Amino acid sequence: MIYLDNNATTRVADEVLVIMEPYYREWFGNAHSVHGLGRKSHDGVEDARRSVAALMGAEASETIFTSCGTEGNAMVIRGLLESGAQRRKVVATSVEHPSVLALLRALEKNAQIDLAIAPVTPAGAIDLDAIRALVDDETLLVCVMQAQNETGVVHDVAAVADIAHRAGALVHVDSVQAAGKIPVSMRDLGADFLTISGHKFHAPKGVGALAIRKGLKVAPLWYGGGQELGMRSGTEPVPSIVGLGVAAEMAQKAVREFDRVAALRDRLEEALLGAPQHSISINGASQRRLANTSSISFHDRSSDAIVRALDAEGIYVSAGAACHSGKVEPSATMKAMGKPANQAIGTVRFSLSRYTSGEEIDRTIEIVRAIAENRPAVPTG
């Protein structure tokens, strides 16, 4: 198996599993119980909070554990609306993740917000002039992702935050794809809220975090025992949180390894661009991108067919287009970038991790070229 779908999810690191196991078998106490077993869990949660806060460039007292990126994004958007804020306008970029965009569209439909979508350039960059034109003194919140999940394009979040703050608006940054790949810092980005998700950086699925800048308040999505600063009632999943803490420490150090990952990604792209038998384009190539992400459009081809053919060879990637009732639809991101349909429907995302090897990339190049040129792949070994 060659796993190149790390923007979808990642393998849990062995070091993370090792740390988690005793919290299932021996130290299974409720983190809020006063006895020894409870205190052991509590200490595990608080150590993890410090590590996760460090990854987010936030204080531990500003950091809340969630179940995933989707939940963190909803906590900010819904929580702000229910916190008594007067302003009702939300500005978001056209390439935000559906956990932001679909929620905002639903709220707009229910007349709970006024929604303004800021376009991106054909290269996937945020159009700062468009943000400037849309953000006004009615704007409650500006939602901007640090790195785009399909293309890996890294956005100028600090510039967006500056525009928002000048208008008195708050800034929510979705750093789900950025965390562990590039430095993330709530402070340096000028974010008021920032979300991450563990399963994108080798922690287990079902655990993430939200940082809320000191002094800000959002209403909780639900009520109960008042865990997590009253923001997220419910017994904490201690093993997952402890695992998230270790994964966060590893991820912060691993950012350095992404130079090696970038070289592998570039090798893949150069080899495919250099093959004259097929025509491809690389999305967002002119922009600063996450080192691990390559979004490649195979012109006049169906991404679905390429993904299936790669799957048959044990290479796992994602399609940037979806097949609905026999019709291939480009992804919302490709549409937002104005990608021509014959290119958008052939878009495939290769996403590497710090565990990806040179041999895996070489084998991938060989197989992709064979598939793109419609010739049989040479079996390995």
Contacts 24+ apart (CB under 8 A), 265-274: 265/291, 265/292, 265/293, 265/294, 265/350, 265/352, 267/358, 267/361, 267/362, 267/365, 268/294, 268/350, 268/361, 268/364, 268/365, 269/294, 269/296, 271/365, 271/369, 272/296, 272/365, 272/368, 272/369, 272/372
Residue 244 touching ligand PLP (CB under 6 A): no
Using the minimum distance from each CB to ligand PLP, give the nearer residue, 37 or 115: 115
Q: Quote the least distance from Cβ 97 to ligand PLP, whole Å.
A: 3
Residue 197 touching ligand PLP (CB under 6 A): yes
Assign 23 to helix, strand or coil.
Answer: helix
Using the minimum distance from each CB to ligand PLP, give the nearer residue, 57 or 208: 208
Instruction: Single out the residue of 208, 320, 330, 346 in contact with ligand PLP (rule: CB under 6 A).
Output: 208
Integer-rounded Cα Rg, in Å, for the chain is 21
Residue 101 touching ligand PLP (CB under 6 A): no
Q: Which helix (H) or strand (E) covers residue 263, if one does? A: helix 258-273
Q: Which residues ranging from 50 to 69 are in contact with ligand PLP (CB under 6 A)?
A: 68-69
Q: Quote the least distance from Cβ 312 to ligand PLP, whole Å.
A: 25
Residue 6 touching ligand PLP (CB under 6 A): no
Q: Distance (Å, rounded) from C-alpha 356 to C-alpha 263?
A: 11
Q: Number of residues in contact with ligand PLP, rule: CB under 6 A?
A: 12
CA atoms within 13 A on the CB side of 2: 25
Using the minimum distance from each CB to ligand PLP, give the nearer residue, 68 or 157: 68
Residue 353 touching ligand PLP (CB under 6 A): no
Q: Distance (Å, rounded) from C-alpha 77 to C-alpha 100?
A: 8
The answer to whether 241 touches 65, Cβ cutoff 8 Å, is yes
Instruction: Single out the residue of 149, 185, 227, 297 in contact with ligand PLP (rule: CB under 6 A).
Output: 149
Q: Distance (Å, rounded) from C-alpha 239 to C-alpha 232?
A: 17
Residue 294 touching ligand PLP (CB under 6 A): no
Query: Residue type for 82, please?
Result: E
Using the minimum distance from each CB to ligand PLP, give the nearer residue, 212 or 371: 212
Give the nearest residue (CB) to ligand PLP.
69
Query: Residue type for 246, please?
Result: V
- Given the residues 85, 271, 323, 370, select the one marked as catalytic: 323
Residue 347 touching ligand PLP (CB under 6 A): no
CB atoms within 10 A of CB 128: 15
Using the minimum distance from each CB to ligand PLP, give the nearer residue, 191 or 280: 191
Instruction: Single out the residue of 10, 41, 94, 99 in contact with ligand PLP (rule: CB under 6 A).
Output: 99
Assign 219 to helix, strand or coil.
Answer: coil
Residue 331 touching ligand PLP (CB under 6 A): no
Residue 349 touching ligand PLP (CB under 6 A): no
Using the minimum distance from each CB to ligand PLP, give the nearer residue, 23 or 201: 201
Using the minimum distance from each CB to ligand PLP, give the nearer residue, 64 or 371: 64
Q: Quote the least distance from Cβ 310 to ligand PLP, whole Å.
A: 20
Q: Which helix (H) or strand (E) covers residue 332, if one does? A: helix 332-336
Q: Quote the least distance from Cβ 71 to ligand PLP, whole Å.
A: 7
Residue 120 touching ligand PLP (CB under 6 A): no
Closest CA to 172 of 151, 154, 157, 156: 157
Beta bridge partners of 153: 289
Residue 97 touching ligand PLP (CB under 6 A): yes
Give yes or no: 323 in active site: yes
The answer to whether 336 touches 150, Cβ cutoff 8 Å, is no
Residue 320 touching ligand PLP (CB under 6 A): no
* Active site positions, annotated: 323
Which residues are near ligand PLP by CB under 6 A?
68-70, 97, 99, 145, 149, 174, 176-177, 197, 208
